[in-house]
Chains A and B, each alone.
Chain A
Amino acid sequence: MNRIELTRNPFLKSALKSRYPQLAVFIVMLIGYIFAILAGLIGTPVGSHNFSIVFVWIAWWAILILVAVPFFGRGWCAVCPIPLPGEWLQRGAVLAPPDKKPKWLNLRVPKMFRNIWMQNISFLLLALFSSVLLTTPNMTGIVLAGMLFAAIGLSMIFERRAFCRYLCPVGGFIGIYSQTAPIELRIKEKQICVTCEGKPCYNGSSAGYGCPWDVFPGGLTKNTYCGLCMECIRTCPHDNIAVNLRPFSADLAKPSTRIDEAFKAFIMLGSAMIYAAVLLGPWGTFKDAAYTVGTSAWFLYALLFLTIICGILPGFFALGILRTNSHTPIKQRFTSLSTALIPLGLMFWVAFSLSFVLTNASYIIAALSDPLGLGWNLFGTANAVWQPMLTTLLGPAQTLALVGGLIWSTRTAQKAASEVNVSSILVITYCFILTSIMLWLLL
């Protein structure tokens, strides 16, 4: 296992262990988030000149899908402000106090919800309204506020970060895609955990809190549910937890056996393709249907959207699986082979996002100077004109991303297929067809 332990570096280790640098980042993020809510609610209704639209759906999204997820896995979760007010209230403190009993209800999330189905549903719900959400500051403000209050509410009722782990629409896909990232948090030696008493990494101690993500660090083998909050590094009495640099997509070598995660792969794949067609395509009827929420056209669009994502894509995939012969049960074949769709989906989103980000990034410059559309000119750039960037690079970059994703998927499919003793050819064909469609939609 070629891993480089980053936390061997004493400077990095103390920076991650100390609560102060993290808190500083948290405060900045939280203020920015609240400002985005205000901007959405009272700023100009023109999306391209409103801080909430520009900094959430262009700047933040670009950083998330192009940098944070591919290179840092759940790195965004590590700095996300949404759970913070709820968590501070839940803990009764901002920085860790010595042992204090939890103040609120602290219920365990019911078993029925301890999966990512709620996150699948919340993502699909937002996706159906995305045309309105991405373009209307009001809606963005309401959704951002909604998520913040949902997180606070859930923290009052349930233990740990219930919103992050079980409801957040973004967390749903960041988790799946974090399996491809070159960073991980893992224990160093298993034997130490076996003999460890009390497991403070999970149960908390005077040095810190039990894992807010409801993960037992000693059993972490994949990135999917670890939010990189560094709490366990603070509580482990044996200094047995490390942050490592590792090859890309190391986690995909251990395919998942869960249907909810497999489904997520289809949701992300399908939504990237549908967005590419509806938002970036030349077909006005689809755009109108997607935007005019509540009309019969929109219902048809929603139906089509759900049919493609929940029916057609997994359906064809399952058909291919059925044609394979193996002793492994069909469900395991399905979940294992759908692992191949994870790198493909990530690259689909990268390719799709590159288009509207490069086209509209110039709005960021103007929005910095006049975030609310009140006529400010904080940095002198309020009159910066809209100008697409790097357009000659866009096509080649998208091809690179999509073909690269296909190669990555092919490799993943081969490895997954050999583990369940089937041929990977059908999955690879499936990936090739979808990649060709995506290329046609974007180029």
Chain B
Amino acid sequence: MPHTPSLVHPTSRNLMTPRFSLLLSVMAGLVVAFAPLSVASTTHQERTIRIEANQFSYSPSDIQINPGDTVNIQLVSTDVVHGLYIDGYDISVEADPGQIATLTFVADKPGSFRFRCNVTCGAMHPFMIGKVTVGANHWLYRSIGLALVSVVGFFPLSTFLSQRKRKGEKDTTL
């Protein structure tokens, strides 16, 4: 008497086709990309950060801020006229040596943003860059998560599952 697969194998295995695992991966990816992350709420402070600018870097060049803080960046140029423009916030300030310029803003956009010089200050001016992170660099974590999901989810998983399926089918043909 022929053995029908449904009698021998549990139903769940028939669902794990490559297409299904692909769907699973896509859904996992969407979760990783868009699921809202809870932001630790802290009381808003006012912070003053002094940044020295010279050809062609800032000091400090990597800054951490809490979301919602009011930030005063004091730009101190130490050799020529430099600027400080923040990506994402689209605000800037420029300072002559000898005259500190202050840029005040509320850190309402979370994430990691580069700040760069917006007054041509020499050859390497386009690469005069610093980084300010408001809260945590969530987008980076999500991206690495997506990379992981894609590596684990898309192909090795489907390969493994299709191999198992093939092995399972072989077993049924006796």
Contact = CB atoms under 8 A, between A and B. Distances in A.
Contact present between A and B (CB < 8 A): yes
A283 B142 CA distance: 24
B56 A284 contact: yes
Interface string B148-166: 1011001110010000000
Interface in A98-150: 131-132, 135-136
Given A284-B58, A359-B116, A406 B123 contact: no
B56 A403 contact: no
B143 interface: yes
Given A388-B87, A406-B150, A435-B147, A282 B130 contact: yes
Interface in B99-141: 111-112, 114, 116, 118, 120, 123-131, 137, 139-140
B125 A439 contact: no
Contacts of B85: 388
A280 interface: yes
- Chain B: interface secondary structure? mixed
Interface stretch (A9-17, A66-74, A203-211, A407-415): A407-415
B151 A410 contact: yes
A399 interface: yes
B125 A403 contact: no
A407 B123 contact: no
B79 interface: no
B117 to A, nearest CB: 10
Contact of A283 (B61, B114, B116, B151): B61
User: Which of the listed residues B112, B131, B148, B155 has the most CB atoms from chain A within 10 Å of its own CB?
Assistant: B155
Nearest to A409: B151
Contacts of B124: 131, 135, 287, 291
A410 B154 contact: yes
Contact of B126 (A288, A356, A395, A439): A356
Given A280-B129, A287-B56, A443 B139 contact: yes
Interface string A393-406: 01100010011001
A282 B62 contact: yes
Interface of B: 56-59, 61-62, 85, 87-88, 90, 111-112, 114, 116, 118, 120, 123-131, 137, 139-140, 142-144, 146-148, 150-151, 154-156, 159
Interface of A: 46-48, 131-132, 135-136, 278-285, 287-288, 291, 356, 359-360, 386, 388, 391-392, 394-395, 399, 402-403, 406-407, 410-411, 414, 424-425, 428, 431-432, 435-436, 439-440, 443
